[in-house]
Each structure stands twice: as C-alpha cells, then as structure tokens.
Chains A and B, each alone.
Chain A
C-alpha cells in the first residue's frame, strides 16, 4: 500500500486499484471541532478537483475535493453520525471515501509523506 498526499490536505492510500481518501491530521487541526460530514453515494463518478465531500467544523465548512479521477465505491457512513471521529483518528478510522482509481497517472502528481511534511512546514 502506498500513501499519497494532496495540496488540499487529503491523504490517498492506494491498494491495488482502490484508493482510500481522507483528510490529514493537519487539516483536522486547522478545521477545529468537526460537527458535520456529508459524503457522496457509492457509484458516483468524480473527476480530479470535483467536490467529493463536505466537512463542517465550528469555524467553517470546507469541500473535500476528489484528488484523482475515479468512481466512489464506498463512503464511510459512520462519519455522518460521529463527525468527532474526524478529529480523533483522521488518518485511520475516519477515512471519507474509497474509490476505484480511474487514472493511475494522476497519482504521480501527488506528494509522498516527506514532501507533504515539508509542504505543511511552509504554511
């Protein structure tokens, strides 16, 4: 399994042709207490940069963009009832969606962990 990171503070863990997408610890810290998560239905096809989910905290509502093209195969519906999980375990149990990788070439445009850490340090 390889994990990639986007400039929009998402992590993308790829295993075979399935990518699991969530928001990073940094994103969760910036948002503050998450109070609401809206997820897409399985079967929805998204293009890179499309709005895939919405996450709302006490401070702000933010879009979660699809980091790559693909078809949503599963959404983590637990988050709808327990949005606090996004604060507790953002890079684990609180994944947002799983999607079928549509275009593997797009993965190479994303960052690895070291590059993402360096990127966050510049913010």
Chain B
C-alpha cells in the first residue's frame, strides 16, 4: 500500500470501506435528506418582487379569497435545488433497467425530444386558427396513417389521452354502433387475466361484466367462452381482450374468439397495451379486432409515467369507423381540414361525441412519429422482435431457479413468474421486489396478473443490451439463491440502502393521510380589504 508524506495510507483500506458516519445533517454524502417544500419555504417570503398593482378592480365578487393559501415562497436557487435534489432520488428509465411488466418502460429517444421542441410544433396553441397550422394537421394525419397501416384498420380516433381513456373511447364507439342498430345488449366479456381498467371501463358505460376463465396454459378457455356466449345469447355487447395477454402469452385462438363474438352480435375490443410485442408481425385488424387503443407511451417510445402525458389513439374497424369521435381530420381538395362540430360532419359520419376539449397530445404525436420514421417499418418490426427476444432471454436465464406458472413455452415481450420458488423461504413477492431496490433495480410488476399466485411480471423491453440483461439475470439469480439459503434478513426489511426504508403500506392504506398539514397553526394573512 502506498503512503503519503504524513505516513498515512493513500487509499482508505478495509476499515475505511466499512465506516459509515452518522451525519449531522442527515444527508449521506450526495444523497440529500430533502424536506418538503412547505417545510422550508417560508410563507412570509416571496421569490419574486412585483410592484403592488394600483387601480385593480376586483371582479370575482364572493369568490374573493379571505385567507392566505400558504404557498411557500422560494428564491429561484432554492426552488432549483429542491427539485434537482428530489430528482436525484428518483429512478427513471434514463437511470437504469425498468422491468415493469405490462407497462413497457422503453427508452425515449432524444431525437423525439428534439423534434417535439421544433418551434412549429412546440409553440403552437390549440386555439390558434386552423389555417395557421397546416403542418401540425399533416403530422397528425401522417401519424394516423402509420397507425392504421400497422393495425390494418379503417379509422383512428386520435384524441384519447391514454390507455384507459382510449378503452372508454373504443367502448363508446361500440355502444354507439349497437344503439344505431337499435340494439342494447348488456354484457361485456372480460378474461380473468385482464387489466383492471377493462372491466372498469365496461362498468362505467353501464355494462355488466362477465369474467371468462383461463385454461391451464394461461390463455382464454374457448369452451368457457362458448358456454358464456350461449348463456347470454343475444345480450353480448362485446369482449375486451389483451393480446398478447397479461401473462405475456399470445392468445392463439384469437381469430376464433373474434368469430364467436361477431357471430353473437358483439364487437371485439382489444386492449393494445401489449401491441409493442407484435408491431410489424401481425395486424390486429386481420385478427378480427374492431377497436384497439395504442399507448404511444408504451409502444412508440413517448415518455411514460412521470415523464410526460400518455396518449392513447384508438383504431377502429370499418364497422365502427363512422362512430369515431370529434374532432377528426378530413382531406379536402384544399388540403387538410379539422372537423370539430356535429354541423360539419357528412352523411354517414356519426361521431358519438368527443373525448377531449382539444385535439389530443400534440407533443406525443410528434415524438411517436419521429420514432416511427426514424426506425422505419423494418426497424419497428425489429423492435418487436428484440423485445420478445429479450424477454425470452430473461426467461431462459431464470427458469431453472424461478418458477413459470404455464410451463417453459416461449413468452412474448414479457415473462411471468409465480412465487412457488419462494415457498417455505419466508420471503414474499413483496420482500423480493424490495430487495431488488437495494440492488439498484426498479422492481418488476408484482401481484399482477391476479390469476397467478405472487405474480412477478418482467418486461425488459428491446432497449436493453445483452450485458445489461446478463447483469439483471445474475442479480436475480443471486437474490433467489440467497432467499433459498434462508438469508431472510436481506429481504424482510429491504430496502436497506434506498433513501427511504420499507414503508408501512398497510398502515398507509388503512389510515391514509391524504393531505400535509402544517405542524403549527399558520399565520393567516388576510387579503387587504377592497
């Protein structure tokens, strides 16, 4: 070991590695113990210095505020530091592998961001005259074209804001089609493994939800479907099905399912959450799908979660196309026009209403089209193939240690394990997920789908390199072996190394505290009288 001029070692050595000082500030080096903004932002101070307005006429009548709203007043550097420090405690797709199954946390290419910030797209306003934004209309129309080509469908409602909103849009189109035909069927079929939003959407529209059982291989049981359809003959509005399903498996009987539903007078709503597994490989329209939302924030790489708003355009089959909601774009001899009102629709167009005040998530349209055009049709197909390849690489790397509920058949873009491999270890799926946080990973989706005991649903996405997957697999193997060796302490209190330790989730759910209250009574500053 080399020594410095005072005769001390120049490297800390083993003792130095082990020593963890308890700090005065509570900070741990660069890991800052950050208070809530309300706890340090003085209510008496203000970060801006504006002159008192004179001649201000008060026009809100009885809505006049009489007490302070207690907003913290911070100077710019204070506000800046607060949010930068918080952001460093965050885990994001830009900081590591994010294997949250069913959520598709794929890389958001920086090219998308650059395009979305072009002034012609970034600075336009939904209320400016349509004649001033022909480029924006063309971009929406071009994106709609890509979506229809990839899905083999006839129309697309662009405005829905995300997945569940898209489901609502698609199901409203289905309801409108039934109403137009003078029918009012009451039942929507939903497989057991469905996303919770599917039955919620159907119920919101007043439908009665009937669950369809799964076969031993995790896919829809055709026999159960036939029996249910027969039992409710003439009363089936449609089915809501995800393909690939939430077990990460392709529903091989999808075309027969579509035929059965159509023969029963119903429509086929496909939950497009997992479309990223089949882009360029299969077109939902060819599979008999009547309506499907597309999560641009999953399949087409726009930011997901806290990173940006979702966007959930809904493609519609020929039979549902007339019922597409307002607004939509129409090609005219003079170029593209935006149809915004009932008065402007043509004969045969029967929009069921509108889903949003404006036209949808323009910023996400730009990003999604940038992704599509920069990848091309061959690149998009390869992204699907690589997503499936990566999930199977993880499956094969773990299947001897972890347990697959439906056997060693190939999965699609995500792989589902159950918790049998943890039996008698005292470690639960929740503990296992928390220990992954100590290893620097965002946990996979857990306890979903509900049809599998202690479910762990891993979706690596196509963005990960082989080296990244190898490290993830090795980490998971180490954790499994540790649990099976009886090292339950590594799990029972995890995470140990995160900025916050294990939270009392049960206590928080049983006695939720939904509002921060000031520790001491606030000094109320009345607004000056008129």
Q: What residues of chain A have their CB less than 8 Å away from a CB belonging to chain B?
A: 30, 33, 35-36, 56, 58-61, 83-84
Contacts and interface: CB of A to CB of B under 8 A. Distances in A.
B469 interface: no
B64 to A, nearest CB: 39
Contacts, number: 21
B510 A84 contact: yes
A66 to B, nearest CB: 14
Select the residue from B196, B447, B505, B510 with max chain A CB neighbours within 10 A.
Answer: B510
Interface residues of B, number: 9
Tell me the interface secondary structure of chain A in the complex.
Answer: loop
Question: Which 7 interchain pairs have the tightest Cβ spacing?
Answer: A35-B509, A33-B506, A59-B447, A35-B510, A58-B505, A58-B506, A60-B450
Select the residue from B196, B430, B453, B509 with max chain A CB neighbours within 10 A.
Answer: B509
Interface in B326-348: none
Contacts of A61: 196
B509 A36 contact: yes
A33 B447 CA distance: 14
Given A56-B509, A58-B509, A60-B447, 4 more contacts: A35-B509, A36-B510, A59-B430, A83-B510
A78 B293 CA distance: 42
21 contacts: A30-B453, A33-B506, A33-B509, A33-B510, A35-B506, A35-B509, A35-B510, A36-B509, A36-B510, A56-B509, A58-B430, A58-B505, A58-B506, A58-B509, A59-B430, A59-B447, A60-B447, A60-B450, A61-B196, A83-B510, A84-B510
A56 B512 CA distance: 14
A59 B419 CA distance: 14
B515 to A, nearest CB: 19
A89 B472 CA distance: 42
Contacts of A83: 510
B428 to A, nearest CB: 8
Nearest to A56: B509
B453 to A, nearest CB: 8
A41 to B, nearest CB: 19
A93 B447 CA distance: 28
Contacts of B510: 33, 35-36, 83-84
Contacts of B509: 33, 35-36, 56, 58
Contacts of A84: 510
Contacts of A58: 430, 505-506, 509
A54 B506 CA distance: 17
B147 to A, nearest CB: 33
A93 B369 CA distance: 59
A13 to B, nearest CB: 27
A103 B447 CA distance: 37
B506 to A, nearest CB: 4
Contacts of A30: 453
Contacts of B453: 30
A35 B508 CA distance: 9
